[in-house]
Amino acid sequence: MTQLRYALVLAGGLSHERAVSLRSGRRVADALAAAGVRVEIRDADAALLPALAAHPPTAVFPCLHGALGEDGALREVLELLELPYVGSLPDACRRAWAKPVAKAAVRAAGLATPPSVTLPRETFRELGAAAVLDALVQRLGLPVFVKPTQGGSALGSSLVQEREDLPAAMVSCFAYGDTALVERFVNGTEVAVSVLNRGTGPLALPAVEVAPDSGMYDYTSRYTAGTTEFFVPARLPDAVVHDVAAAALIAHRVLGLRDLSRTDLVVDDAGTPWFLEVNVAPGMTQTSLFPQAVVAAGLELGEVCRDLLTVAVQRHTRRGSDG
């Protein structure tokens, strides 16, 4: 039995999702403490590395959302420091973090993902926004979903029904990042499938269906308890339940993810699951989807997090003895 002397939860950071990250981190830390793990929570700032050097944790549980936490950079640093951590390797994070890259990878593996166009801000400036947007609408049709290629919590994202609303959506998107992903909107049932691997192979947890009162699963619907109805398991026929689970496992595998991930999909009226994006540091707040899936699977969040830390330590130990 691997001893977890003490675990460090990383939360906060400087991304737009800092507030969400702090809540995720607090929940994971509380769950770990309830599961009997000695745990500390710490921000990712200039004091982090000296603190890690002075008082190295047995393992790290990153709960940082947005850049640094999900783009692989933090994990590169943890690799440098040779600290065991929960979650995917840096290069896998980089693939998942860049939504167009992740979409291309899962498409190549046979999954459906809505047709999309990825364009940096400069393209519109250099070629003229109106002409580019016209071409975009001609190719994708309407409605479309506009979102930054990187980032989560639906920040900078909007559903565009009319051509005239597209410029404003682009400006909102470019407030959060320099490259936009414009994706054909697929109407249907929105589900999230969490994948968990506690050392015995990846397992798809029950799909969580989201039904926001506003019709849009935006920031407010995500983080205001009561404004979204969640169905776990999702209200889907058995065959489709199987398909969405399989899709999430494929995404997890082809992107080379490990330990945990959450894949967001939409199931159209024909029952086809469409891959939207995958998260390597899924939200862990009181209204987040991964913890709901854990509970629906009959598991305890604290025990799951503890097991993931244990797996990380064992992996690290094995690597040390191999090398």
Partner 1 sequence: MRPDHPAADQVGSRLDPYVDRYAARALGMTASQIRALFAVASRPEVVSLAGGMPYVAALPLDVVGELMGRLIIERGAVALQYGSGQGDPTLREQICAVMELVGISAHPDDVVVTVGSQQGLDLVTRIFVDPGDVVLAEAPTYVGALGTFAAYQADVMHVAMDDGGLVPEALQEALADLAADGRRAKLLYTVPSHQNPSGVSLTPARRRQVLDICRQADVLVLEDDPYGLLGFDGDPLRALRADDADGVIYLGSFSKTFAPGLRVGWALAPPAVRDKLVLAAEAAVLCPPSFSQIAISTYLQSYSWQEQVKVFRKLYRERRDAMLDALPAALPPGSHWTRPAGGFYVWVTLPPGLDATAMLPRAVTARVAYVPGSAFFADGSGGTSLRLSYCYPEPERIREGVRRLAGVLDQEMQLHETFGVRGGLSGAHPRGQPDAPGPDLR
Q: Which residues are catalytic?
A: 17, 153, 223, 262, 264, 277, 279, 283
Write down the residue that tokens 């167009």 correspond to. 100
Residues in the chain: 323
By rule CB under 8 A, what string of x and - marks binding of each residue 231-250 to partner 1?
xx--xxxx------------
Please, which of residues 256-275 interact with partner 1 by CB under 8 A? Answer: 269
CB-CB contact of 39 with 9 (8 Å): yes
Q: Which two tokens stand for residue 104?
A: 């291309």
- Is residue 175 at the binding interface for partner 1, with CB under 8 A as the rule? yes
- Is residue 298 at the binding interface for partner 1, with CB under 8 A as the rule? no
**Using CB atoms within 10 A of its CB, is residue 9 exposed (0-12), middle (13-18) or buried (19+)?**
buried
- Rg over alpha carbons for the chain, rounded to the nearest Å, is 20
Write down the residue that tokens 């400036």 correspond to. 125
Q: Which stretch binds partner 1 (CB under 8 A): 87-95, 153-161, 190-198, 302-310?
A: 153-161
Of the two residues 279 and 292, which places its CB atom closer to partner 1 in the complex? 292
CA distance 149 to 178: 8
Of the two residues 284 and 312, which places its CB atom closer to partner 1 in the complex? 284
By rule CB under 8 A, what string of x and - marks binding of each residue 34-73 to partner 1?
-----------x----------------------------
Beta-strand (E) ranges in the chain?
Answer: 7-10, 39-42, 59-62, 116-120, 144-148, 158-160, 179-184, 189-196, 203-204, 208-212, 228-231, 260-267, 273-279
By rule CB under 8 A, what string of x and - marks binding of each residue 199-238 to partner 1?
----------x-x------xxx-xxxxxxxxxxx--xxxx
Nearest to 69 by CA among 42, 99, 93, 47: 93
SS3 assignment, position 106 = helix
* Residue in 5, 38, 55, 125 binding partner 1, rule: CB under 8 A: 125
Please, which of residues 76-105 interact with partner 1 by CB under 8 A? Answer: none
Residues that bind partner 1 (CB under 8 A): 14-20, 22, 45, 121, 124-125, 129, 153, 155-156, 158, 165, 167-172, 174-176, 189, 209, 211, 218-220, 222-232, 235-238, 269, 286-287, 292
